[in-house]
């Protein structure tokens, strides 16, 4: 039992590392500015598929551990914590809560459907990734909107901030989820073997 727990934790650390590499690879390929090269921006990748397969394989609790490891890796790689640089302590606290623990803990959501997916349900395989992708998009979109609204005063800007945060900067989370679903469904038979091979 102890050796199996260690194996699950090691798997989680490996999955967290893969997700981090996927997050920064596109930035390096397309030569983003050096300050953004290791920043976990919403590049187009298959992170939802990789993390969801682990969630279906191991359930929610190990993924919570994996998501916290990923959060620490991202903070260490960037050397900074992103939050709204404003004098409003509530906005700062809200931004930190959204961008860090909540945005990372959503990786565990597909684990809600782990039993159904292990039984061979493609439908729940898709549902889990949709739940993850939409929730992550809403969290990051909200954080960006609150940050911009607090940083730049003026009610007339809020509509533009909402559109930019949800439908430009953070829309990649939705696109990544759609891409992951397509790839996941196409390769489902192979992934099902990985998910069930405990």
Q: DSSP secondary structure string, 89-129?
A: HHHHHHHHHIIIIIHHHGGGGGGGGHHHHHTT-HHHHHHHH
Cα separation, 156 vs 41, in Å, equals: 27
pLDDT of residue 152: 67
- Is pTM beyond 0.75? Reply is yes
Q: pLDDT tens digits, residue range 23-70?
A: 877 645 544 444 444 444 556 789 999 999 999 999 999 999 999 999
Query: What pLDDT score does 84 carry?
Result: 58
Q: Looking at residue 34, what is its pLDDT? A: 47
According to the CATH classification, is domain 2-196 in 1.10.1760.20? yes
Closest among 126, 190, 140 to 169, alpha carbons compared: 140
Dmax (CA) for the chain in angstroms is 59
- State pLDDT tens for residues 80-101: 676 656 677 777 788 888 988 9
Q: Higher-confidence residue: 41 or 10?
A: 10
Mean pLDDT of the chain: 85
pLDDT value at 147 more than 60: yes
Convert 57-94 to b/e letters by CB count within 10 Å (16 or more is b): bbbeebbbbbbbbbbebbeeebeeebbbebeeeebbeb
Q: What angle is formed at CA 58 by the lines to CA 104 and CA 76, rounded to 5 degrees?
A: 35
């Amino acid at each position: 039992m102890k050796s199996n727990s260690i194996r699950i934790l090691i798997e989680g650390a490996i999955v967290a590392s893969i997700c981090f590499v996927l997050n920064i690879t596109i930035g390096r390929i397309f030569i983003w500015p050096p300050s953004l090269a290791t920043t976990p921006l919403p590049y187009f990748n298959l992170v939802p598929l990789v993390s969801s397969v682990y969630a279906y394989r191991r359930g929610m609790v190990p993924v919570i551990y994996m998501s916290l490891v990923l959060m620490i890796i991202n903070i260490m790689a960037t050397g900074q914590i992103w939050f709204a640089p404003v004098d409003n302590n509530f906005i700062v606290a809200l931004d930190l809560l959204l961008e860090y623990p909540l945005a990372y803990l959503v990786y565990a959501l597909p684990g809600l459907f782990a039993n159904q997916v292990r039984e061979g349900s493609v439908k729940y395989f898709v549902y889990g990734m949709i739940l993850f992708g939409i929730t992550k998009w809403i969290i990051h979109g909200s954080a960006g909107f609150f940050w911009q609204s607090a940083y730049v005063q003026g009610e007339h800007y809020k509509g533009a901030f909402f559109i930019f945060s949800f439908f430009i900067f953070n829309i990649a989370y939705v696109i990544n989820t759609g891409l992951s679903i397509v790839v996941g469904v196409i390769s489902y038979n192979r992934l099902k073997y990985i998910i069930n091979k405990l």
